[in-house]
Amino acid sequence: MPETAYPALFLVGLLGGTHCIGMCGGIVGALSMGGQRRWSLHLAYNGGRIVSYTLAGALAGGIGAAGIGLGGGVSARLALYLFANLMLVALGLYLLGVTRALALTERAGQYLWQRIQPLTRRFLPARSVAHAFPLGLLWGWLPCGLVYSSLATALASGSAASGAVAMLAFGLGTLPNLLAAGILFARMNAFVRRPLVRAASGLLVLGFGIHGLIGWVRMLEPL
Q: Which long-range contacts (CB under 8 A, 24 or more apart) does 103-107 make?
A: 103/145, 105/143, 105/145, 105/148, 106/143, 106/144, 106/145, 106/148, 107/143
Helix (DSSP H) and strand (DSSP E) numbers for the chain: 11, 0
One digit per residue, the tens of pLDDT, for the chain of length 223 reads: 655 678 878 877 877 666 666 666 566 656 655 554 577 888 899 999 999 999 999 999 999 888 877 766 667 778 888 887 787 787 778 777 777 766 777 777 888 889 998 998 898 888 888 999 999 999 899 888 788 888 988 888 888 999 999 999 999 988 887 777 666 654 555 555 667 766 777 787 788 778 778 877 877 766 5
Cβ pair 66, 134 in contact under 8 A: no
pLDDT confidence of residue 36 = 45
Rounded to an integer, what distance in angstroms lies between the CA atom of residue 71 and that of residue 17?
35
Alpha-carbon torsion (101, 105, 108, 111), positive or negative: negative
How far apart CA 174 and CA 45 sit, in angstroms, is 13
CA dist., res. 28 & res. 24, Å (int): 6
pLDDT of residue 102: 67
Helix, strand, coil % in the chain, rounded to nearest 5: 85, 0, 15
